[in-house]
């Protein structure tokens, strides 16, 4: 057991010595919206896409010359304005179908878990990269129709705490100096998990799902 522990420690230290870590800062404005899983009778629609912001720290851990495990810690805002049909009672006891509309704004702390594939130089000092993986997100704030409190309840409680995304992107890096690089690219974020159980309860249908979607412009600098 002692020999196995020493061997494992030796391999980890050896791998760490060979690996190269690049840490940087990233600004990531994104156009965000929502997609729905629901029957046509509810007529869910995305009324508009929203321009929101992401910012944080990124880290690329190279385990080979052109391959890196990429992660970080990002603060990102998501959400959009949506509309839907729901049934309610009027003053006479009859039911009427009403068009509802919500402007949803959510903020998350994201932990991306991705693989980056780098090309050789495509121009002097310039390489291209492709990124694929996912992101584990924790909700930190929420508003609905510009309000943090709705009917005495915090909007934060309405939404699920955790979210998972699939990520697919690409871009270029430019070598500015011996250890400084600037980069820019586009990333598609596809929400995999339901963010809100409110509409399931409102409409009495457990099969309704609401998920985030966004495309981000990622620019930053690595050291």
Question: Does residue 7 belong to any structural domain of this protein?
Answer: no
Model confidence at 10, in pLDDT bands (50, 70, 90)?
very low
Closest CA to 132 of 84, 70, 73: 70
2 belongs to a structural domain: no
Q: What is the pLDDT of residues 180-194, one digit of tens each?
A: 999 999 999 999 999
User: What whole-number distance in Å separates Cα of residue 15 and Cα of residue 21?
Assistant: 12
Strands (DSSP E) contained in 65-223 are 67-78, 81-89, 95-123, 126-144, 149-150, 153-154, 162-175, 181-191, 209-222
86 within some domain:
yes
Is 42 among the domain residues?
yes
Is residue 175 one of the residues assigned to a domain?
no
User: Which pair of structure tokens corresponds to residue 6?
Assistant: 């020493």
Asked whether residue 171 is domain-assigned, the answer is no
Cβ 134 vs Cβ 90: under 8 Å = no
SS3 55: strand
Lookup: tokens for 134: 């996912």
Give per-residue pLDDT as tens, 123-177: 999 999 999 999 999 999 999 999 999 888 898 889 999 999 999 999 999 999 8
User: In whole angstroms, what is the distance from residue 212 CA to residue 189 CA?
Assistant: 8
Containing domain of residue 146, as a range?
Answer: 17-164+183-222
Contact status, residue 86 vs residue 44, Cβ threshold 8 Å: no
Summarize pLDDT for 82-130 with one digit per residue, the tens: 999 987 766 666 677 888 999 999 999 999 999 999 999 999 999 999 9
Return the structure tokens found at 86. 């729901």
Query: Does residue 178 sit within a domain?
Result: no
Q: What is the pTM of this model?
A: 0.85
Q: Is the pLDDT of residue 202 over 90?
A: no
Measured CA distances, 39 to 103, 123, 200 (Å): 21, 50, 12
Number of structural domains the chain divides into: 1
């Amino acid at each position: 057991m002692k020999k196995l522990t020493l061997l494992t420690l030796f391999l980890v230290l050896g791998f760490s010595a060979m690996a190269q870590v690049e840490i940087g800062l990233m600004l990531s404005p994104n156009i965000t919206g929502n997609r729905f899983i629901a029957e046509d009778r509810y007529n869910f629609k995305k009324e508009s896409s929203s321009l929101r912001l992401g910012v944080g720290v990124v880290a690329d851990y190279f385990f080979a010359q052109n391959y890196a495990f990429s992660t970080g810690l990002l603060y990102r805002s998501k959400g959009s304005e949506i509309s839907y049909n729901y049934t309610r009672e009027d003053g006479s006891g009859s039911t009427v179908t009403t068009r509802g509309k919500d402007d949803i704004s959510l903020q998350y702390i994201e932990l991306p878990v991705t693989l980056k594939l780098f090309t050789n130089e495509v121009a002097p000092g310039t390489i291209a990269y492709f990124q694929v993986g996912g992101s584990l997100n924790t909700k930190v704030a929420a508003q609905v129709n510009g309000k943090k409190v709705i009917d005495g309840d915090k909007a934060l409680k309405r939404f699920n705490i955790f979210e998972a995304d699939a990520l697919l992107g690409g871009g270029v890096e430019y070598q500015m100096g011996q250890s400084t690089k600037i980069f820019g690219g586009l990333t598609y974020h596809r929400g995999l998990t339901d963010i809100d159980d409110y509409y399931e309860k409102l409409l009495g249908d457990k099969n309704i799902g609401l998920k985030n979607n966004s495309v981000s412009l990622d620019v930053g600098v690595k050291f």
